[in-house]
Amino acid sequence: MVVEPANASGLLAQIGAVGRRSITRTLRQRALLIFPMLFPLILFAINGSALSAATKIPGFPPVSYRAFLLAVPFMQGALFIAVTAGIDLARDIESGFFNRLALTPLRGSALLAGQLAGGVVVAVLQSVVYLLVGIAAGVGIASGVGGALVLLVLSILIAFGFAGVGALIALRSGSGEAVQAIFPLLFVTLFLSSSSLPRPLLRVQWFHDVATYNPVSYLIEGMRSLVITGWNGQALAMGFGFALALVIISLTLANIAIKNRLVRT
């Protein structure tokens, strides 16, 4: 079916209405804003200094450990977005608000896109903060101003993908507790990646293998390349490729889940 312009604008209006509510609600919950933003920065400050000896390992890139580590707060922030977005949606389901929305002519896709708006706004805010803190800590962006902008775009894309994961879990489970419970699992993907050392320097074989097959390694390496290498086509292609795949897969599954939930309602 061809979507008429009127329908398209109607869809945008629906997304706008749900999105405004989502953004307002997210910005009002300061705990949801401050803690997820602060936690990665604390780890960045501590690990950036505590692991600086790692730069003496033969084969480590000739950059400061802070520069090497800067991509990690972006990734941690994206993981927190998954929880923030998922919990907001789960709360709407638990409170019955979602069921009431389902009785209106609102489309499922508009509902999903609007619900993720709050998470995306947080992603934009925290990405800018992480970048500014990194620069203030003396990290230079090897790819320049353009690279810094690309870094922001990639980190927001990754956060959007993880927001979709959070929404998917919320829609499938309908429970905020389930979304909370999945968080450690998401964090494991960060632990078991090349977040702390370059992959060639991961000495333990099983860890090296897991990090190689772990897409999070490539998301981090894509962002990291802009900071420490400059314009690295392969790292960026892998980073953007996995980020786009995450967005497409998570949103497609979330869209199916929202349709199923609306049918049940």
Partner 1 sequence: MRRFWFVARGVAWRSIHNTLVSPAILVPSIAFPLFFLAAFAGGLSKIAQVPDFNYPPGYTAFQFVFVFLQSAAFGGVFTGFAVARDFDSGFARRLLLTAPQRSGIVAGYCGGALARWFVTGSVVTIAALLAGMHVPADGSELVGMLALGILANTVSALWACGVAMFLRTEQAGALIQMPVFVVIFLAPIYVPLSLLTGWIHSVASVNPATFVLEAARGLLANSPVDVLLAFALLGGGIAVMAFWARRGLASAERAG
Token couple for 124: 């934009």
The reply on whether position 102 binds partner 1 by CB under 8 A is no
Q: By the 8 A CB rule, do 176 and 87 touch? A: yes
CB contact set of 218 (below 8 Å; sequence gap of 6+)? 235, 238, 239, 241, 242
CB nearer to partner 1: pick between 199 and 259 = 199
Residue 20 is which amino acid? R
Minimum distance from residue 192 beta carbon to partner 1 (Å): 7
Token couple for 216: 């999070």
Give the one residue of 8, 12, 13, 42 binding partner 1; rule: CB under 8 A.
42
The kind and range of the H/E element at 68 are: helix 65-69
The reply on whether position 94 binds partner 1 by CB under 8 A is no
Query: Cα 30 to the chain's mean position, in Å?
Result: 19
* Residues in 19-38 that interact with partner 1 by CB under 8 A: 31, 35
CB nearer to partner 1: pick between 203 and 264 = 203
CB contact set of 32 (below 8 Å; sequence gap of 6+)? 26, 84, 87, 122
* Residues in 198-237 that interact with partner 1 by CB under 8 A: 201-204, 206-207, 211
The reply on whether position 46 binds partner 1 by CB under 8 A is yes
The reply on whether position 264 binds partner 1 by CB under 8 A is no
d(CA 232, CA 260): 42
CB nearer to partner 1: pick between 97 and 209 = 209
Minimum distance from residue 195 beta carbon to partner 1 (Å): 8
The reply on whether position 53 binds partner 1 by CB under 8 A is yes
Q: By the 8 A CB rule, do 91 and 174 touch? A: no
Q: Residue 206, Cβ neighbours under 10 Å: how many?
A: 9
Using CB under 8 A, which of the segments 13-21, 87-95, 115-123, 181-189 binds partner 1? Answer: 181-189
d(CA 18, CA 111): 6
The reply on whether position 139 binds partner 1 by CB under 8 A is no
Using the structure block, give the residue that is written with the tokens 């980190």.
Answer: 155
* Residues in 183-202 that interact with partner 1 by CB under 8 A: 184, 187-188, 191-192, 195-197, 201-202
Give the one residue of 11, 21, 52, 124 binding partner 1; rule: CB under 8 A.
52
The reply on whether position 50 binds partner 1 by CB under 8 A is yes
The reply on whether position 72 binds partner 1 by CB under 8 A is no
Left if phi > 0, otherwise alpha if psi is -120 to 50, otherwise beta: which for 140? beta
Which residues contact partner 1 by CB under 8 A?
31, 35, 42-43, 46-47, 49-54, 56-58, 177, 181, 184, 187-188, 191-192, 195-197, 201-204, 206-207, 211
